[in-house]
Structure 1
Amino acid sequence: MDSSIRIRAPSPSASTFACEPVMPSKYSLVYPLPKLVMRFRAFLPALLLGAGVAACSSNTDVTNPNQLNSQTFWSTADDAIQGVNATYNTLLRLGTYLRWQGFSYDIRSDIGYSPSPWTDLANFNKFTFATYDFDVNHDTWNDTYTGIFRANQVIANVPGINMDPVLRARLVGEAKFIRGLLYFHLITLYGGNIPLITVPPLPTDRPASSDSAKVWSQIQTDLTDAAAALPASYTGADVGRATSGAAKGLLGKALLQQRKWAEAATPLLAVIQSARYSLDANYGNNFTSSGKNNVESLFEVQVGNPTLAGSQAIYGLNMSKMIGPCGPSFCDGRPTPWYFSQFFVETTTTGQVDPRLDATIFWNKPGGEDVYGTPFATRYASNLANHTPDTLFFKKYGEYYIAGDQSWDASINYKVLRYADILLMYAEALNEQGQTASAFQYINVVRARVSLAALSGLTQAQLRDAILHERLLEFGMEAQRWLDLGRQNLFSDLTTLRAHDPEFTFFVANKSLLLPIPTAEINLNPNIHQNPGW
């Protein structure tokens, strides 16, 4: 990371700005935009200075007439594109989609647990904090709001640029999609008691806590606007940008999470009827370097070229270095034995184990399997000799097909939304409206890919359970299980959750469902209120 170029990174409260290295936009490597990195590096400090905030260097009364500022930067179509690309770049941070989402949404749920020797990390997954400013919590809050800060700059400034109106509307739509996505990230982890910031903040702003209704409404507005402005697809170097299908799919997901079943069904059906998406015939291909931007993907985070990580701060996905198998990775997050057992509840039509198991978990399977080039039975011989019952490790999103150790920068895009999710969400929306008979065809498409028998003749309650179980097996380590537990009110059944995952012994009702707002943020802004119980 280039530490020679530093700016003040915005606190969500806009009351202070902490020093933060500028990272070149990884999307600049995906999209051929000349001089993107250097121009945006030059612009950001001036933008913040224009808001009345001093940069990290010593203050001076001398004004550089050639220095970009918030009034002069937003002048051309190239400026608009650079601003949007810098907004995409914030998805490539530890607190958004490079690392910690695997802990916040998956390891904290009943599919995972943490035996990490890093005590604070292990405690995070036990709903316990020594400090609310612990890395996972701090990074999730700050990195997400940094993305919102950048999206707000685009949304506020690009409409005033004299440029092609279609491109201008598209770029604003992309920023609104990202802002909607990031607020979805925040509300599902912290609840609605967060600042709802939709314009570039002033240094004196102290935005108050909002509420769930207002935050959800803003998410819906952003995604509705984005769906209307974005194209259905891109070609060439623009592949990977947000599309209308991605916006509609995420809108459906946001409505579904609020249990607005009928409203959610409309955008989800629109995605299905567009006929632009299908399931990849090979389930596991979704989570490898060869599966980037495949037919199943509605939106995924583009990791760029991780070989440039050292020289240009171009980072790859590093979640699997933290959560992958012991040896090649740190195995700070591992599958619960209960989760592993769920893959054996039902066999395929030919009597085989659900193939999603082998794409999701390393285990001592009959006939053996290699773990980064070494046979499982060899690598974990002492565990097996001692009959260690939980010799299980997450495999998904790891570069297990490369011998040696997992690198910090896997060249694998992180899929935020894929077509299997659309199908299962639509089935759930139909079933919850009492249209159970109509829902079977959509879950059965997902089951057919992995050779499971078609479902029929179930009651609404039985199909609800079947959909949840299908999602359990389909979306391990994809930031879905925490959402599913919340949407179907399963956090209220702590007896069952504790049977699935003993770490739920530490779960406290009316507290642990939400993360605490970082203490540093509370101290900076007296108008933000801490979440209940913390």
Structure 2
Amino acid sequence: MNKHLLYITLLASTLLAPSCNKDLLNVENPNTITEDQFWKTESDAEKGVNAIYSMFYQNGGFNRWIYFRLDLTSDEGFSRSPWLELGDWTRFQYINYNFWEGNVNTWRDVYKAIFRANQVLAYVPDIPFADEQKKSRLLAQAHFLRGLYYYYAAILWENVPLVLEPSEPADLPQQNTLEEVWAQVEKDLTAAAAVLPPQWDDPNVGRATKGAAQAMLAKTYMQQHKWPEAKTALDYLVTGEGQGYYDLVPAFRDNFRGNTENNIESVFEIQFSDANKTGEGDGPNSNMGSNRSQFFAPRGIGWSDGQARNWIIGEFKKEMNKDGALDERLRYTLFYKDLEADFGDKVYGRDWQWDADEAWFRKYQRDYYRSNEDYFNEINFRMIRYADVLLMYAEVLNELGQTANAYQYVDRVRERANMRPLATAYPAIGNDAAAFRERLKVERELELCGESVRWADLKRWDDLRSDAGVDKVAARDPDFNNFVVGKHIRLPLPQIEVENNTNLEQNDDY
């Protein structure tokens, strides 16, 4: 029967016979699988874990909007978008706490990923497996991904509910403190690190590894200034049994291109693909690409809703390399007016009329082989790479009073860029931990600009905890003149969540 005719027939029956049995109208879809039917086999468990990974392709997270929070809200970036509200959410002018693209969509997708992880952790233990190690590794991946999403919830909103069991629509979860959220992230990542393998075989490349769990655990400890614990986590990757799996690739640019993915520098990266040129969703043919390049590309190529701050170019140009030339990392980090004059690059094959103060993020753009951008960028996002790990290790050692030992790890990163050793270039630092810390802030920017770590860095360094600290940041990024200490260190909770859940209180000063 034609389905439209069926709907009309059912509607007419309802109107003409109001006393009929309502159960006759509750027709179950035989193609819909319920929880009771699904969580039965090893295949079901694998699909459940893959469904958590698939959340990387949703708009609220690493497909699109989270970069506005992690990159543009930091002092690296800003927005001149004609969509005023979108730009306002990069400059601490939060009016509508329910703004979908700035807040609610990311909240939804974070908790959607957590919900999927909770299902795996609740139901998979009861599924019989021929190989118990396979089951353990699936559960470890769910722990890793739940910990990862709660890490970003802590970075963005801080005081969020910890939902650790499969939830129902009527649930009203209790709000947790930031300290409690961090404790759960530690618990999940520790559980993951204990089980995950150092590497996967080729068909499973891109899944979380022991090194990825240890690196995320170190990031979690560092945000809390738990320096000894962070060192223990990083030891695995830098001086321990995991160090043999990681190194720096010879060419810096190979960390941001589609033909050099999952290389030895990769600790964890999101596996993007341009196979499905469709809309986002949960279907088998949904988009698995990244939208970032479309929104961050220069005018005429993409939407140009996100730009880089010009001060970063100046920072690169303060120090020449061993050959007296510019630091080549600048070439692959930013688009800017003098790029062709400095390096000979004619990006996207066009002549540009850029203003002197304009710059855009070049990492993950596709100018190296095409002349436009779209919503289907296939270049993997390197969430954690080994250069970041080495710089984190240097930071941890410095905070533990081992400044002299920390130099070598910064120098490994600088050497790849053909820069002189740090002690040679900046001898005044010596063993002064405060001076080393200030220089390390610059070293992380030169290496990691546009890689979605800067907002967490600013929070960890306590640069946003005082008016004096914020004033220094505002000298680089005038958007921070809007920053209110004690308030804008975190996003407001979506107001709709607060109104629908009596156990939630809006974050301070909102």
TM-score of the pair, normalised by structure 2: 0.89
Residue 479 of structure 1: aligned partner? 452
- Confirm or deny that 1:215 pairs with 2:181: yes
Aligned to 2:270: 301
After TM superposition, give the deviation of residue 92 of structure 1 in Å.
1.6
CA contact (8 A) 1:116 1:333 kept: yes
Pair member with larger Rg: 2
Work out whether 1:420 is the aligned partner of 2:387. Answer: yes
Match of residue 294 from structure 2: 321
Aligned position for 1:252: 218
- Who is 2:259 aligned against? 290
Aligned ranges 1:115-514 → 2 under 5 Å: 115-134=80-99, 135-163=101-129, 164-191=131-158, 193-272=159-238, 273=240, 274=242, 275-309=244-278, 312-363=285-336, 364-365=338-339, 366=341, 368-374=344-350, 378-380=351-353, 383=354, 388-456=355-423, 457-491=430-464, 492=466, 493-514=469-490
| CA distance in structure 1 between the partners assigned to 2:328 and 2:180 by the alignment | 42
Asked if 1:78 is matched to 2:58, the reply is no
Give the length in aligned residue pairs.
Answer: 468
Contact 1:110 1:339 in 2 (8 A): no
How far, CA to CA, are the matches of 1:148 and 1:66 in structure 2?
25
2: CA distance between counterparts of 1:60 and 1:173?
A: 43
Tell me what 1:527 maps to: 503
Gap change, CA 1:239 and 1:60, over 3 Å in 2: farther
For residues 75-119 of structure 1, what are the alpha-carbon distances to aligned partners after superposition, in whole Å with 9 as ceiling and x for unaligned? 110000000000100122222211222211111111111111110
2:246 partner amino acid:
Y
Letter in 2 for 1:520: I
- Which residue matches 1:101? 66
Report how far residue 320 of structure 1 moved: 1.4
SS at 1:490 equivalent: coil
- Which stretch of the first structure deviates more once superposed, 515-524 or 359-368? 359-368
Percent of aligned positions that are identical = 39
| In structure 1, distance between residues paired with 2:275 and 2:460 | 36
Change beyond 3 A, Cα 1:59–1:304: farther
In 1, Cα distance between equivalents of 2:285 and 2:24: 28
Residues 470 and 208 (structure 1), Cα distance of their counterparts in 2 relative to 1, 3 Å cut: same
Q: Tell me the CA shift for residue 64 of structure 1.
A: 6.6
> 1-side partners of 2:31 and 2:255: how far apart?
47
Indicate if the aligned counterparts of 1:431 and 1:463 stay in contact, CA closer than 8 A. Answer: yes
Secondary structure at 2:38 match in 1: coil
CA-based RMSD of the aligned residues comes to: 1.8
Whole-angstrom CA distance in 1 between matches of 2:297 and 2:404: 40
Name structure 1 gaps, 5 residues minimum: 5-57
| Residue 54 (structure 2) aligns with | 89
Q: 1:322 to 1:67 in 2, by over 3 A?
A: closer
- Report the AA paired with residue 146 of structure 2: R
Structure 1 pair 337–62 and aligned structure 2 pair: CA distance change class (3 A): closer
State the distance in 2 between where 1:484 and 1:372 align. Answer: 32
- Structure 1 residue aligned with 2:20: none
Cα distance in structure 1, aligned partners of 2:417 and 2:257: 18
Aligned counterparts of 2:189 and 2:198: Cα–Cα separation in 1:
14
